[in-house]
A and B are shown apart, each in its own frame.
Chain A
Amino acid sequence: MNRKSPLSTLLQISPISLILGFFLALPIGTILIVSFWDYNAFSFFPDFVWTNYSDALGSNVTYSTYFNTLRYAGLTWLCTFLIGFTVAYFLAFHIHTTRWQIVLFLICTIPFWTSNIIRMISWIPFLGRNGVFNTILQSMGLIDKPLEFLLFSDFSIVLAFVHLYALFMVVPIFNSMMRIDRSLIEAAIDGGANGWQMLINIVIPLCKPGIAIGSIFVVTLVMGDYITVRLMGGGLRASVGVMMWNEISLLQYPAAAAHAVVLLAVVMIMVSLMMRIVDLKREL
């Protein structure tokens, strides 16, 4: 019997434990502590005050910002889910050779390994006043003057989110679909189910774990984002992340920390709801 000594296990897990301890757990603990500290125009210092929370939770700006961010998350989730499910379904059920499945899957994956910022910037020539879309629409005679809402708007923000994060839906849903026993589908077809019934009664229920994992990724990425909203919103749109970033740049760390704690709580509630659908360890 091959038994590992506890010592070797300890040595194997100590690097990751130390790194995550110091650069993840400790920072979050620090944020929690600092959220009770006080600050003035120049510095922040130890104290125990609730003012950061009462400021954060007592202001209507906070609620409207959360509402706005949740709206981005909801819209992005809907779009990425529809795209992700459709693309995964195509790859899993309509491509029959593994080689082509890998090729077509990799084509979707490659952009994920390139810079997010460049991918955001790359919408500028398309969406601007003199961008590709406006030029095409004008030359087709569909509009007389350039559409202003394309760039630096909610539209461009959600578009960029969908562009950046659609892959996070494709991969887990594809993974779930590949695990569906094909004989189930054949049995359903033999039993007289049409394509639609098969989709609703077999594929979607069995894809729930994949959908949940993809949703966790997309929702948490959007909720915590501050760079996409800033860049694609032209600095005119608010999200929770942008609000925090503004406080950080004003060196109001305790205020930002209080917002961070609230954001973490909101995100964790959303994640734990979605985690009910999925046993993460079984998915690996």
Chain B
Amino acid sequence: MRRKRPTSFYWLAAIYGVFVLFLYGPISAIVILSFQGPSGGLTFPMNGFSVHWFFALFGKQLVGDFETSFLRSLQLGLIVMVLTVVISILTGLAFRKKFFGSNLLFYTTVASLIVPSILVSLGIGLIFNIIGWEVSWTTSGLGAHLTWTLPFGFLIMIAVFNRFDKSYEEAAKDLGASNWQTIRHVVLPIIGPSLIGVALFGFTLSYDEFARTLMTSGVKNTLPLEIFGMTTNVTTPTLYALGTLTTFFSLFMILTAMGVLFYLRRRQESLGSDAGKGV
């Protein structure tokens, strides 16, 4: 039987709706305004409808080097993603047991998340300056991004392994699997879906990172830095066109991750248990 919903449900549902509108409204406006006609400006009303500003984006004279900074951010995001996933798995495996210094490492990782980003940026910039190395997105930038993505991956892995049923692993060991075989054929498939989550965090947090990148990426801008530069000197809807493109790219990555996640869950459900099936 279905219970009748209380009045508070409708109030709260309305608040939730307003919140979603608050989250998505502004970005929708950007998407719409990026299709301004050639004579349109940064605000409504729309002066016609065109893809003029998207073409303007690819003409080099109008804006900075958006294509190379995009490719740079893409590469950096992928590198950070792979490193975050691998290192988070390793750390998660280690943290299933207490070891000397585990508390220190735990709180250092958490600290990495809550230390103001400007400190990370400034500190790394200073080290490179003092040693005499040149800051670059592939070295200092990469390290700065990892200080931001690793804590997320780490905390997710800790949460995952806290819920992990060790009897699967023991069963594998009892049946004679080696350590590596146990990890490869038992542990990884079980935690697989969570790794998609870690990968998504690793990529998107790096792809959109600004605060820790500013002083660590050197002369070559990542995309968020390029966009920030545009806010001060571009006063046409090109800015919105770029915003639209990069947001859709983010959405594409998020949906891909969710699709893979959904597929893995399905597969796990269908292949998951053969108990009692006489396989």
Interface residues of A (CB under 8 A from B): 2, 4, 6, 9, 11-13, 15-17, 19-20, 22-28, 30-31, 34, 83, 86-87, 89-91, 94, 104, 106-108, 110-111, 113-119, 121-126, 128, 130-132, 135, 163, 166, 195, 216-217, 220, 223-227, 231, 241, 244-245, 248, 253, 256-257, 260, 263-264, 267, 271, 280-281, 284
A244–B246 Cα distance when bound, in Å, is 29
CB neighbours (8 Å) of A244 from chain B are: 118, 122
| B279 contacts partner chain A, Cβ-Cβ < 8 Å | no
Q: Are B8 and A26 in contact (CB under 8 A)?
A: no
* A-facing residues in B68-90 (Cβ within 8 Å): 86-87, 90
Q: Are A115 and B154 in contact (CB under 8 A)?
A: no
The 7 A-B pairs with the shortest beta carbon distances in the complex, nearest first, are A224-B116, A27-B123, A122-B26, A23-B143, A12-B94, A90-B12, A113-B204
CB neighbours (8 Å) of B240 from chain A are: 121
**B146 touches which one: A13, A23, A87, A89 (CB < 8 A)?**
A23
| B135 contacts partner chain A, Cβ-Cβ < 8 Å | no
Q: Are A114 and B250 in contact (CB under 8 A)?
A: yes
Q: Are B227 and A253 in contact (CB under 8 A)?
A: no
Q: Are B227 and A20 in contact (CB under 8 A)?
A: no
Q: Are A110 and B254 in contact (CB under 8 A)?
A: yes
A281–B79 Cα distance when bound, in Å, is 29
* A-facing residues in B120-169 (Cβ within 8 Å): 120, 122-127, 129-130, 140, 143-144, 146-147, 150, 154-155, 158-159, 162, 169
Q: Are B123 and A20 in contact (CB under 8 A)?
A: no
Interface centre among B6, B16, B20, B147 (most CB of A within 10 A): B16
Q: Are B251 and A110 in contact (CB under 8 A)?
A: yes
A241–B210 Cα distance when bound, in Å, is 14
A257–B146 Cα distance when bound, in Å, is 22
Using A111-B23, A132-B44, A284-B158 as known contacts, say yes or no to A118 and B246 having CB atoms under 8 A apart: yes
Q: Are B33 and A108 in contact (CB under 8 A)?
A: no
A284–B95 Cα distance when bound, in Å, is 13
A30–B130 Cα distance when bound, in Å, is 9
Specify the main secondary structure of chain A where it touches its partner. Answer: helix
Using A27-B120, A131-B43, A264-B119 as known contacts, say yes or no to A113 and B200 having CB atoms under 8 A apart: yes
| B99 contacts partner chain A, Cβ-Cβ < 8 Å | yes
**A216 touches which one: B27, B94, B114, B154 (CB < 8 A)?**
B114
CB neighbours (8 Å) of A114 from chain B are: 27, 204, 208, 247, 250-251
A146–B12 Cα distance when bound, in Å, is 32
CB neighbours (8 Å) of A107 from chain B are: 20
| B231 contacts partner chain A, Cβ-Cβ < 8 Å | yes
Q: Are B27 and A24 in contact (CB under 8 A)?
A: no
> Within the complex, what minimum Cβ distance (angstroms) separates A130 from chain B?
5
Q: Are A132 and B30 in contact (CB under 8 A)?
A: no
Closest to B160 in A: A284
> Within the complex, what minimum Cβ distance (angstroms) separates A258 from chain B?
11
